[in-house]
Chain A
Amino acid sequence: MTEDVHSLFIVNGAECDIVHDSRLTLLDALRDELQLMGTKKGCDHGQCGACTVHVDGERVLSCLTLAAQAHGRQVTTIEGVAEADGMLHPLQTAFLKHDALQCGFCTPGQIMSGIACIAEGHAATDDDIREYMSGNLCRCGATTGIIAAIREAAGR
């Protein structure tokens, strides 16, 4: 038996109006309902950070958010951070410059978390960056490049 829920939220400026199984997570809504494949499903238990998106301007884990909880909220995913003309977000550019990825699976989550880390004022030192990026794991070990990219995008 499934239990249907109606949820309406905004994703990257576009309305998302869906009737869905109550169990649908925001992560699965983004990927399966909206075909926004940038947000990644890593552990699906809130441990890796690959699914990080912004809800009402704050970074959260979309795998531990029910789609129903996003009702009425503004969601931003990795697809929503570049300019409309395709100009990359400064942190995306910095990731390229500093080779801040190998396989790339964690990268959308790293960038969404990194943008928030800078906006929160938690990128003043490398120690701060390490602490406030601890919810995003990179198993390739690109961490040094990730820290360098965030440092540069933060204007240090």
Chain B
Amino acid sequence: MKSFAYLRANTIAQAAAAGTEFRQFLAGGTTLLDLMKCGVEQPDTLIDIGRLPGLDSIGHRSGMLSIGALAKMSHVAASATVKAFCPALSQSLLEAASPQIRNMATIGGNLMQRTRCAYFRDPAFAACNKRTPGSGCAAIGGVTPNHALLGASSACIATYPGDLAVVLVALDAIIRIGGAVERTLAAADFFLLPGDTPHLEHPIARDELILGIDVPLTPASFRSTYLKVRQRHSYEFATVGVAAAIDLEDDGQTVRIAQVALGGVATIPWRVTPVEAALIGKPFDEAAIRAASNSAIEGARTTEHNAYKLDLIPRAVARALLSLKDDA
């Protein structure tokens, strides 16, 4: 690991102002330290924001579920408020990582985890536009059973690995940003497509940090779920992740609101508006759900090894939606 200066920040302002352009914020550190050991991340300064006061609250106000950036994944997942008002959010956290990592990793850090593939993680592969802009992509033409089918570019096909953000994007959550000035971003706008600049993953400056997230509490967020299909039963990245939320008209039959997003298959948390559009106004029954779920792969481009997901994605979407039916 490359040597670095270490600074414990006591205030948000101090954290934002400290260090150089090569510094990084340290919260739980579960991804950052791993990537530093791999030689992928090489900050010259770590600003430890783990002790900043007042950023670990979990509560609701004004129709929003409000979670501080430093709340631990395990604490948020176990929160009775979160489980009751937004079950998908709790599920996405419980099905992520391991119990130990969930006790360390924070909500803000979870959102800042790098989009990464095995080639990115191993500097023995020199070609990685995400690690070294302009160097090429070792994954393209490589072994790619879990690389992205959606949102990929000729520069990068790494899959966004997180679960939480898939739920946040589906539920139109808001990311609160602090630093020099406070501002907010829609969760969907927080993740950048790789395009020609896969090294840029979020539209925030290096002196900005996440203060928290707000999730609108709606009838759909109450009726939400996160389904994670994976190779191992636990402690494994998603092969396909599906966040789904539904609200029905007063007739109890017709879909009023559908919110669906995918993880494990795209370069960013991937909202599937074609599925949502196909559901709205239709009866919430198996035929309509299966028909709508087929449009989840609109725009997908496969590699040599990941075409199996063309079958898997619609089935996973349908399974998630079916679990939200009254008689499920």
Contact = CB atoms under 8 A, between A and B. Distances in A.
Interface of A: 1-3, 5, 21-23, 25, 44-46, 49, 52, 58-61, 64-66, 68-69, 71, 113, 116-117, 120, 122, 130-135
Given A64-B33, A131-B234, A113 B6 contact: no
A58 B98 CA distance: 13
Contacts of B26: 66, 69
Contact of B29 (A3, A65, A134): A65
Interface string B1-43: 1011110100000000000000000100110011001100000
Given A61-B101, A66-B29, A46 B5 contact: no
A60 B37 contact: no
6 contacts: A45-B34, A61-B30, A68-B8, A69-B50, A117-B99, A135-B235
B interface secondary structure, majority = mixed
A49 B33 contact: no
B4 A22 contact: yes
B99 A68 contact: no
Interface string B85-117: 000000000000111110110000000000000
Contact of B3 (A22, A52, A66): A22
Q: Size class of B's contact patch?
A: 20 to 34
A33 B178 CA distance: 38
Query: 10 tightest A-B contacts by CB?
Result: A135-B98, A134-B234, A22-B6, A134-B235, A58-B103, A3-B5, A135-B100, A61-B100, A64-B33, A23-B1
Nearest to A23: B1
Contacts of B29: 64-66, 69
Contacts of A132: 99
B103 A59 contact: yes
Contacts of B234: 130-131, 134
B46 interface: yes
B235 A60 contact: no
Contacts of A133: 99
B101 A135 contact: yes
Contacts of A61: 30, 100-101, 104
Nearest to A58: B103
B34 A3 contact: no
A1 B4 CA distance: 9
B48 interface: yes
A21 to B, nearest CB: 8
Nearest to A44: B37
A69 B48 CA distance: 8
B6 A59 contact: no
Contacts of B233: 130-131, 134
Interface string B231-255: 0011100000000000000000000
A59 B100 contact: yes
A65 B1 contact: no
A49 B50 contact: no
A1 to B, nearest CB: 5
A90 B33 CA distance: 34
Contacts of B101: 46, 61, 64, 135
A77 to B, nearest CB: 14
A70 to B, nearest CB: 11
Given A61-B30, A68-B48, A130-B234, A49 B98 contact: yes
